Amino acid sequence: MEVLGAVASSIAVVQALAAGKHAISIFREIPDIQKDFDYLMKELEMIKSMAQAVSRMAPAEMEQVLINTAARNLNGITAELEALLRICSRESGPEGNKMSKTKKRKWLVEKSDIKKLQQRMNQAKETLHFALNSSRAFNDIW
């Protein structure tokens, strides 16, 4: 019976160490949360600008379908990410000079969804880039 108690105690110690390691990794992430948030907000602004530029283009009919599909996909993903980022932020500062600050606990809770959307956004960006390059190459040939 003492052996069973020793095994149970060692399992409890290992679990406590694992939980402590997880807590330490979370505390290390906290200072970078605002930087990550600011980076994603800038990325969203750049993507919106790209989408506006693409909507003004007049590519050949063949590439138009691919470009429109890629742009629609990118717009949908950025809208999801923007909504999630809005949930994770609050405005602070004097009237007329508001700044977005990150709700750190909410960010930590939503972190996995944010990462997934960020990966999907990068893939959609690559698809749009491919479509635009294909259109440009097609126009250069003809």
Output the DSSP codes for 17-31. Answer: HHHHHHHHHHHHHGG
| pLDDT band for position 7 (cuts 50, 70, 90) | low
Show me where the domains of the chain are located: 32-141
* pLDDT the model gives residue 13: 58
| pLDDT band for position 41 (cuts 50, 70, 90) | confident
37, two tokens = 């948030």
- Residue 102: count other Cβ atoms within 10 Å of its Cβ: 19
Buried b (16+ CB within 10 A) or exposed e, 46-69: ebeebbeebeeeebeeebeebbee
What are the pLDDT digits (tens) for 91-135? 776 766 667 777 878 888 888 888 888 888 888 888 888 877 776
Length of the chain: 142
* Predicted structure pTM score: 0.59
The mean pLDDT value for 75-99 works out to 79
